[in-house]
């Protein structure tokens, strides 16, 4: 049986390229499925990729193993205003190195332990 990791991760515009795991850690490498980006200055669509980089961010744990996503992050060149821009990664919020759902999970955990402390008095 094969597990549909793409379906499980449920991330917009991303596709699993590779994955690996050890006793304590899962790493999933993702590529972007959209071919183009939109210039944040003039709004024009461009397919000209200047370079490929990647970011490693923490996501929700899988079966108790720390899980990291290595996300392809492209820099495009706008042919219209001749600027370079890096595409947005929808599942990240700021520069924290955490996915938004992992951040939400941490927040929930903190709120829960606070409630427990209060109820214990
Ligand atoms: Zn532009």
Number of structural domains the chain divides into: 1
Separation of CA 87 and ligand 1 centre (Å): 13
Separation of CA 65 and ligand 1 centre (Å): 42
Q: Which residues surround ligand 1, an ion (CB under 5 A)?
A: 39, 41-42, 78, 80-81
User: What is the Cα–Cα distance from 13 to 58, expressed in whole angstroms?
Assistant: 18
User: What is the Cα–Cα distance from 91 to 29, expressed in whole angstroms?
Assistant: 14
Encoded tokens for 98: 């955490």
Distances in Å between the alpha carbon of 36 and those of 68, 71, 101?
A: 25, 16, 26
Residue 37: domain span:
5-120
Tens digit of pLDDT per residue, the chain (121 long)? 788 888 989 888 899 999 999 999 999 999 999 999 999 999 999 999 999 999 999 999 999 999 999 999 999 999 999 999 999 888 887 777 999 999 999 999 999 988 888 887 6
Q: What is the pTM of this model?
A: 0.84
């Amino acid at each position: 049986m094969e597990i549909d990791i793409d379906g499980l991760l449920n991330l917009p515009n991303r596709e699993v390229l590779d994955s690996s795991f050890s006793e304590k850690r899962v790493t999933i490498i993702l590529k972007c499925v959209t071919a183009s980006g939109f210039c944040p200055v003039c709004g024009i669509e461009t397919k000209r990729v200047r370079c490929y980089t990647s970011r490693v961010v923490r996501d929700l744990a899988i079966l108790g193993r720390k899980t990291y996503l290595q996300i392809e992050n492209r820099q495009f060149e706008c042919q219209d205003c001749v600027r370079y821009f890096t595409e947005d990664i929808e599942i990240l919020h700021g520069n924290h190195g955490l996915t938004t759902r992992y951040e939400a999970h941490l927040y929930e955990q903190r709120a829960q332990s606070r409630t427990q402390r209060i109820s214990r008095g």
